[in-house]
Amino acid sequence: MRVRVLGSAAGGGFPQWNCACPNCSRLRAGDLHLKARTQAGVMVCADAGESYLLNASPDLRNQILSTPLLAPAVSPRHTPIAGVFLTSADVDSVAGLLSLREFQPLHIYATKSVRRIVLEENRIFRVLERANPPVRWHDLAINTWFPLGTNASSGETSVRYRMVPLGNTFPDYVSEDLRRLLPPEEAVVGLVLANGNKQMFYAPALPGRSNEWKEWAESSDVCLLDGTFWDDTELISTGVGSKTAREIGHLPLSGAGGLLQEFHSQNRVRKILIHINNTNPILDEESPEHREVRDAGCEIAYDGMELDL
Ligand SMILES: [Zn+2]
């Protein structure tokens, strides 16, 4: 199973269009110690040339165009993309679905709550129903293994997946009426992909309010984990927001109870940080924070990073 990071930044990307924080300003000025990044998304090539996207960021169209493996192979219309997994209904997880609206049959895998938010609160996404056959949504129960791929029903796939509940933060835009009806454990999930005895865990948003994620992270070969913020008060100290990292559903990397302290496993797990906010000092490859993350055994995802599982 081949895995490619299509985008490695948090919402807004890096640089962010309206941001003049030190990182964004230095990147715009050409500082070579920082690399531009698009908004987070991952491609997984499973069986028989079928590819799956893990989330659909607002940058998805350009990410597809810059990935030759995702080019159409058959005239007149075709895509190797068989489906899209959504780990939340956040704008940076779902907005890219609108870039897949050109009458292309696809499968979308999400919790029932995420599907209801996308379709009931945002009627614009019904544009996907114009495909023939229409885009098909699959409501996934959490904590349940499913076989992956169009051969799944015949038992010919070795790839399985499951969604792990990670937190109860629905996006701000969800109406009170709908929010009252939705089970909170379906708000934010991590995705476990297993290929034979190899396992990957994808959790670009990790609220850290329970410990279940750690078991999945520690039992995996590769983890792509929430690297959004270095510090819990980063948005406040950089003057771009008033909430803490934890208040908006992201465990910070540093400090007591932060990701580096909570997940310091020295075993075979490959730890890769993704969904990195443009204010995060680890984006500066010369910074002490960057060195601290590397010394803790973590890699920092970049657009185009590839790995095999
Ligand atoms: Zn910035």
> Tens digit of pLDDT for each residue in 76-118?
999 999 999 999 999 999 999 999 999 999 999 999 999 999 9
For residues 196-216, give the mean pLDDT. 93
Tokens of 240: 């771009």
Tell me which residue has tokens 């531009």: 36
> For residue 66, how far is its CA from the centre of ligand 1 (angstroms)?
24
> For residue 20, how far is its CA from the centre of ligand 1 (angstroms)?
5
pLDDT category at 211 given cuts 50, 70, 90 is confident
Sequence-ordered strand ranges (E) for 10-106: 41-45, 51-54, 81-85
> For residue 269, how far is its CA from the centre of ligand 1 (angstroms)?
31
> For residue 302, how far is its CA from the centre of ligand 1 (angstroms)?
17
Residue 150's pLDDT is what?
64
> For residue 300, how far is its CA from the centre of ligand 1 (angstroms)?
18
> For residue 278, how far is its CA from the centre of ligand 1 (angstroms)?
5
Mean pLDDT of the chain: 94
Q: What are phi and psi of 247, to 5 degrees?
A: -65, -25
For residues 227-247, give the mean pLDDT. 95
Helix, strand, coil abundance in the chain, percent, nearest 5: 25, 25, 50
Model confidence pLDDT, tens digit, residues 37-53:
999 999 999 867 799 99
CB 245 within 8 A of CB 254: no
pTM here is: 0.96
SS3 string of 64-91?
A: HHCCHHHCCCCCCCCCCEEEEECCCCCH
Say whether pLDDT at 9 is over 90.
yes
Residue 268's pLDDT is what?
83
> For residue 171, how far is its CA from the centre of ligand 1 (angstroms)?
22
- Residues contacting residue 16 through CB under 8 Å, at least 6 positions apart: 24, 278
User: For residues 192 and 175, what is the distance between their CA atoms, to the nearest angstrom?
Assistant: 29
For the chain, percent of residues with pLDDT exceeding 90: 90
Model confidence pLDDT, tens digit, residues 130-159:
999 999 999 999 999 999 986 666 666 789
Residue 151's pLDDT is what?
63
Residue 168's pLDDT is what?
84
Strands 81-85 and 146-147: unpaired
**103 in the Ramachandran plot: left (φ > 0), alpha (ψ -120 to 50) or beta?**
left
pLDDT category at 208 given cuts 50, 70, 90 is confident
> For residue 90, how far is its CA from the centre of ligand 1 (angstroms)?
20
Length of the chain: 309
In the beta sheet, which residues pair with residue 52? 44, 83
> For residue 230, how far is its CA from the centre of ligand 1 (angstroms)?
14
For residues 172-197, give the mean pLDDT. 96
Residue 152's pLDDT is what?
62
Residue 195's pLDDT is what?
92
> For residue 27, how far is its CA from the centre of ligand 1 (angstroms)?
9
> For residue 280, how far is its CA from the centre of ligand 1 (angstroms)?
8
- The end-to-end CA distance of the chain, in Å, is 5
User: For residues 199 and 87, what is the distance between their CA atoms, to the nearest angstrom?
Assistant: 17
The sign of the CA dihedral 109, 111, 114, 116 is positive
Model confidence pLDDT, tens digit, residues 27-39:
999 999 999 999 9
Strands 222-226 and 198-203: parallel
Residue 209's pLDDT is what?
83
> For residue 82, how far is its CA from the centre of ligand 1 (angstroms)?
34
Q: What are phi and psi of 109, to 5 degrees?
A: -115, 125
Say whether pLDDT at 234 is over 90.
yes
Tokens of 151: 């051969």
